[in-house]
Amino acid sequence: MSTAQSDILLCTINASYIHTAFGLRYLYANMPEALRNKSAIKEFTTHLRPADIVEKILLTRPQIIGFGVYIWNTAHTTEVIRLLKIIAPDIKIIIGGPEVSYEYTQQTIYKLADYLITGAGDRAFGQLCKLLLNQQNETLEIAKVFQHREPPLSELKLPYPYYTDEDIKNRVIYVEASRGCPFKCEFCLSALDKTALPFNIDVFLSEMDKLWQRGARNFKFVDRTFNLKTDSSLKILNFFLDRLDNRLFLHFEIIPDRLPEALKTTIAKFPPGCLQFEIGVQTFNQTVQSLISRKQDNHKTMANLEWLRNHSNAHIHADLIFALPGEDISSFASGFDTLYQLRPHDIQVGILKRLRGTPIIRHTDTYQLKFDSTAPYSILSTSKVDFLTV
């Protein structure tokens, strides 16, 4: 157990060891250079007791701790911060992440923390740390909710050099060729994005080559819409085709109704066990799709799923959401049967969740949406689906 001192700790609690905290590595990469040498990343899992996490944190004697807060770790992180504030109240606690970027004033974790960064914090975290460390020498007024203009993606330093050899050998390597989403599906936080923005494709692929040369073979793309821009998608797929070996595994999330011939031709070149496509169908009910602002051509979706199953070696992981506003059990069953007949390898049925900030709440009264008030905020009943059915 390392006891090396770090003035600044970047922390999060992952669901399991195999996951890597992509966001922390972005924060670390974009720290002011003088502070990066005083900073360290510490990742934990939900299997550790909060008291054990606090023990490991305090061994490094930090002055500032930043926590990435997500729907799966908010309760655990709240308890860790509560203990830290009892034991070491002088440590400055900064929180950020999707779970605390919206509707935060009502959350216990916000009340416990010293500062909150909402939205993208790639540069904001380092700037706030710099102000806090300078505050020791001069009087500065810093608002609890820290606002900082985030630069264009082209100005961000990429996080890939900060995956360790252990990460590359034993864990999933998260990467992104674009950020954001142009679609407005109301159950998703990406509905708040203005559009999808690409990273420079040549710079991105140069970083992928460095990871590949270090031995990385398990790449999980977090892009919401990998196949949005065909030219970029083809460049990425061909990059990996040129480096194909029996260990390579690529995970992409794709738009279900967009699969042009050029992409099909390239996808068909990959051998079994190499590609996995996560395809968010969510619902086949056109009325519900319109209600939640989801644009999807069901005929193209079905044709593309059928093509992928019959003419490619890709593993197909398809998603449906149960209890969307306006959808009853009969409609959901019909959609499930339609998807089942298309023979994806996996069907994941997700229960609708009320992610903080998502527009889905505009249907609360009309469709009597009742959600659990604790994470992960799953639906309990709607006007179309009662609690016992859920």
Distance CA 250, CA 103 (A): 35
Specify the pLDDT at position 207.
Answer: 98
**CB neighbour class for 156 (10 Å; exposed up to 12, middle 13-18, buried from 19):** middle
- 2, two tokens: 């390392």
**Number of other residues whose CB lies within 10 A of the CB of residue 204:** 21
Q: Report the candidate in 253, 262, 281, 271 with the shortest Cα–Cα distance to residue 312.
A: 271
Min mean pLDDT across 68-72, 143-147, 285-289 is at 143-147
Specify the pLDDT at position 157.
Answer: 97
Percent of the chain with pLDDT over 90: 92
Distance CA 322, CA 222 (A): 23
254, 279 contact by CB (below 8 A): yes
- What phi-psi label fits residue 61: left (phi over 0), alpha (psi between -120 and 50 degrees) or beta? left
At residue 137 the predicted structure's pLDDT band, cuts being 50, 70 and 90, is: low
Specify the pLDDT at position 148.
Answer: 78
DSSP SS3 for 27: helix
Strands 39-45 and 8-14, sheet pairing: parallel
Specify the pLDDT at position 3.
Answer: 55
pLDDT digits (tens, 9 = 90+) for 27-82: 999 999 999 999 999 999 999 999 999 999 999 999 999 999 999 999 999 999 99
pLDDT digits (tens, 9 = 90+) for 225-270: 999 999 999 999 999 999 999 999 999 999 999 999 999 999 999 9
DSSP 70: -
Q: One-letter amino acid identity for 251? A: H
User: How far is the CA of 189 from the CAs of 94, 138, 145, 215, 380, in angstroms?
Assistant: 22, 39, 20, 33, 20
Match 């770090």 to its residue by tokens: 6
pLDDT digits (tens, 9 = 90+) for 180-192: 999 999 999 998 8
Query: Is CATH 3.80.30.20 the right assignment for the domain spanning 163-381?
Result: yes
Q: Report the candidate in 86, 239, 264, 123 with the shortest Cα–Cα distance to residue 177.
A: 239
Specify the pLDDT at position 139.
Answer: 53
Match 């309760």 to its residue by tokens: 75
Domain ranges of the chain: 8-146, 163-381
H runs (alpha helix) in 113-162: 124-134
308, 277 contact by CB (below 8 A): yes
Question: pTM for this one?
Answer: 0.93
Higher local confidence (pLDDT), 141 or 51: 51
Query: Is CATH 3.40.50.280 the right assignment for the domain spanning 8-146?
Result: yes
